[in-house]
Every structure is written in C-alpha cells, then in structure tokens.
Amino acid sequence: MIKSLIALAFATCATFASANAQSYPSKPITIIVPFAAGGPTDVLARTLGDRMRVALGQTVIVENVTGAGGTIGVTRAVRAAPDGYTVSFGHLGTHVVNGAIYPLPFDLLNDLEPVGQIGANPMLIVSKNAVPAKNLKELIAWLKANESKATLGTAGVGSGSHFSGVYFQSLIGTKGQYVPYRGTGPAMQDLVAGQIDLIVDQASNSMPQVQGGKIRAYAVTAPKRIAAAPEIPTVDEAGLPGFHILLWSGVWVPKGTPKDIIAKLNAAMVEALGDAGVQKRFGELGLELPTRAQMTPEALGAHQKAEAAKWWPMIKAANVKPEG
Ligand code: MLT
C-alpha cells in the first residue's frame, strides 16, 4: 500500500513537472545581469533577451542586480526557484573567477545549471585621451612613471575588468589604483570624462568610444586583431606578447530546473544567436559567436569547469581578496 502511494506521488510530481514544462513559458522570464545597465554584460543580455522574447513568445525582463564584482546578482539567481523564470547571465569573471576570490554561500560550478554560451570577446587596453602615450610601450612607461597615482576603472573585485587589470599590472610591474564601479558602463563614462586613466575593458564596451575618438585603444588581448577594428594592434605586436584574455559570456539557471525547460531556453538562445540582426550587432561590438557545438548546455558546463581549473590556481596565487 505504502509503496503504491509513493509510486503514485512520484508519478504525480513527474506529470506535474512535465505539464509545467509543456506550458513553459506561461509568464515573463527575468534575466539577472550582475552589473549596471549600459555595460557590456547588460548590452549583451538585452540584445539576446529581445530576440529570445520572439522565440519564446513571452516577455523577457532584464534586471540589474549589482555589487561585489557580480556575486550579488549571481547569488540572487542561485536562490531563485528552479522553474525557468529566473536566468543568470554572466561571464568568465562572475561564473568562474569569483569562485576563487569570494567566500560564496553556494557552489559556483554546481548550484547553477548551464544553458549555453553566448559569445566571447577579447579585452582592449584603453585610456583617457589625456594620457600622453601613443602606443602600448609609451603607456607602460607612463604607468611606471606615475607609480600608484594612475587609476584603473573596474566593475568591482573579480569582474572581468578587475582581474584583467590585475593580470596586466602583474606583467608590467606597476601598482595603479583600482577604482570600482557597479559596471564598466559607469566606469566608461568616467574614462571618457577623464576622471580615471585606464580600463582593461571588454572590447564590446570600448569599441563605440574608441571609434568615436573619445578614448584611446592600445592593444587587443588576442593573437589576432578584431575584424571591426583592424587598426588596433594585438598585445603581441604592441610589445606585451602572450597577454591573451578571451572573456566569454553564458546563461545559467538554478540547479533543479527541469531539463526540458533548459532545452526550451537553449533552443531560444540558439535561434537568437542565428538571427542576422543579432549577428550584425555582435560583429560591430567585436563579439565572436560560439560554434553550434559550443552552444549546448553540456559544452558550457565543461568549458566553465575547464576555465576554473585554468584560472583558480592563478587567482589564488595572486591572493586576490574581496576587499581588493
Ligand atoms: C566586467 O568588467 O566584468 C564587466 O565587463 C562589467 C560589466 O559588464 O559592466
């Protein structure tokens, strides 16, 4: 009798979950972006969300939950109901590097389920126009001459702009001060205004300002130049060989989200990435699309774990702390 009741209970739950998935999405979906509006993560999420709305036939809302290098927003997503209506948007910094810096109240590699990789871009070393340097070697000399007076904008400890800045300064032996913002959108505003000196920034965030002559780019952290900005040399050409960073972004949902709901979200993401308008926008921003094989949930999960194996030893050796 008991066994048949338990079997009935499981069958009922399975039917309920399946019915839920069949009717999914039946209400708006929220994408949590862990940085301020106007930055590269926000722009990427909104570009993608606008097109996923069409594929899903449901409103997609972007909510900016900022602070602590993105960990506040990711924590909010981890704690959300595993029903497919809360999605965590982030990148190498928020979903890998922060695991080696912050005492997170969850398991960064296992308490979120991967949905798929969105795209990747290298970083650009950019400065305010008033910095008296015309190439990377002159910039490095200026940073050394200005010791700790120079300022580097970041999106908080552990953000892409922060760990890229730490890596950059460790290679050139300087100790410029990090100025944290709630995202590199606000940091860029201060760079254009000349309030800070430098950002090692996602290319997608800096490109519009570089092309508008508002800031100066010195090099791209990749072995080849960005097709949309062939005038910017690689770090190898500019005198800092091997300083390669490719900041990739992805989408996750809370652990326990039903597999067929993850499959629906992944299908909508793949359709959005196949959209000509999305691809054009990505190209203009210097964002590389993942291959179809890289777009699967399994591929993102494997990539995230491989990146943790690569970056965590380096970050822990650098003894980077949440307080900076
Ligand atoms: C980062 O620095 O991690 C991000 O680019 C910040 C942002 O997206 O605002």
pLDDT for 46: 96
39 lines ligand 1 (CB under 6 A): yes
Judged against a pLDDT cut of 80, whether residue 19 lies above it is answered with no
CA 256–ligand 1 middle distance (angstroms): 28
Cβ 262 vs Cβ 297: under 8 Å: yes
What is this structure's pTM?
Answer: 0.92
Query: Rounded to whole angstroms, how far apart are CA atoms 244 and 220?
Result: 8
The answer for 219, left when phi > 0, alpha when psi is -120 to 50, beta otherwise, is beta
| pLDDT tens string 96-126 | 999 999 999 999 999 999 999 999 999 999 9
Judged against a pLDDT cut of 90, whether residue 2 lies above it is answered with no
What average pLDDT score do residues 66-72 get?
96
| pLDDT tens string 217-264 | 999 999 999 998 999 999 999 999 999 999 999 999 999 999 999 999
What is the chain's Cα-based Rg?
Answer: 21
Confidence class for position 324, pLDDT limits 50, 70, 90: confident
What average pLDDT score do residues 59-74 get?
97
CATH class of 122-238: alpha beta
71 lines ligand 1 (CB under 6 A): no
What average pLDDT score do residues 200-213 get?
96
Least confident span in 10-24, 72-86, 257-271: 10-24
Q: Any idea where the domains of the chain sit in the sequence?
A: 2-120+249-317, 122-238
161 lines ligand 1 (CB under 6 A): yes
> Could you tell me the CA-to-CA distances from 299 to 8, 170, 233 in Å, in that order?
36, 31, 31
Query: What average pLDDT does the chain have?
Result: 94
pLDDT for 15: 59
Amino acid at 195: Q
CA 247–ligand 1 middle distance (angstroms): 10
49 lines ligand 1 (CB under 6 A): no
Cβ 71 vs Cβ 180: under 8 Å: no
Judged against a pLDDT cut of 90, whether residue 293 lies above it is answered with yes
CA 14–ligand 1 middle distance (angstroms): 40
185 lines ligand 1 (CB under 6 A): yes
Q: What is the CATH topology of the domain spanning 2-120+249-317?
A: D-Maltodextrin-Binding Protein; domain 2 (3.40.190)
**Angle CA 246–251–254, to nearest 5:** 135
66 lines ligand 1 (CB under 6 A): no
Confidence class for position 137, pLDDT limits 50, 70, 90: very high
- DSSP bridge pairs for 91: 249
Confidence class for position 10, pLDDT limits 50, 70, 90: low
Confidence class for position 3, pLDDT limits 50, 70, 90: confident
pLDDT for 11: 66
Topology match between the domains 2-120+249-317 and 122-238: yes
CA 210–ligand 1 middle distance (angstroms): 17
Judged against a pLDDT cut of 60, whether residue 16 lies above it is answered with no
